[in-house]
Amino acid sequence: MQEYKTYYQILGIHPDAAEDDIKKAFRRVSRIYHPDFHNNSERSNIIFRMVLSAYKTLSDGEARAGYDSFLARSSYLRRFAKEGGIKSQQLSGPVEADFLDQINITLWEIEDLINTPGLDFDRVFGAFTVKQFLLVILTFLDKWILGPSGFPDYFMEARRKDGIDPRDYIALLSSPVKAPIHLPYSGLTDYFYDIRKRTDKFLTFCEKRGLYAAPESMNPPLDECISEFHNLAVHYLGYLLLPVTDMPASIPVYKFRNPVFA
């Protein structure tokens, strides 16, 4: 794993930064990476998307609280969250690696949850069970990143079932009733490891060719999909990683920034 940058590090601020400091940092970093100052290049668009995503999260009180909760409890990110701010210019490194690490870290966290002894996957928190919240994250990755990038659900595709929306799995893989269609997965764990295998192939492809190799027909573009995926995952994992005694009665529904994802 590369040295993953938290949103605080992307903006070059301390985790205790006040709201005004966040705004000032965003204006400062924006002047460095805004596409208008770089001839609207693909790379500057991707960097600026990361900066904008960081600002939108940290400037929203509820979103920031969820993000901080995730950083505090993630076994993979805890050491990065404790570091102070770094110079925003360090973002000029391998930007693709930061995006790819966001996906990898999410899957590592989900795998840890799946393998947690005694975890009650059927425990209800408002609208969904623990299992369904995890499926919300995985099906987003399936529908908006893996499929459009050329790494679809090959089982369903081979059986001419490619018209099925992966988000249907939220109900199909969490229901005690047998699914009305034949699925290759017996439940969450099987689906997760299929996602893991396809994601590994996707990440290898991106490491060799960069995010710029994504199909031009992707709408929204790949970097926007990855940013939304990261924010969606952090939102729910920020709650699911809490000790059982601290879990709220209901987990707030994530608000997509681009309505096309809803």
What distance in Å separates the CA atoms of residue 227 and residue 219, rounded to the nearest whole number? 14
Q: Is 114 exposed, middle or buried (0-12, 13-18, 19+ CB in 10 A)?
A: middle
Cα separation, 46 vs 211, whole angstroms: 9
* pLDDT of 156: 67
- So where are the chain's domains? 1-92, 94-262
pLDDT (mean) for 169-192: 82
Average pLDDT estimate for 64-80: 81
Please state which of the four CATH numbers 1.10.287.110, 1.20.1290.10, 3.40.109.10, 2.160.10.10 is assigned to the domain occupying 1-92.
Answer: 1.10.287.110
In the predicted model, what is the mean pLDDT of the chain?
84
User: Do 69 and 25 meet the contact criterion of CB atoms below 8 Å apart?
Assistant: no
Q: Evaluate if pTM is beyond 0.75.
A: yes
pLDDT at 87 over 50: no
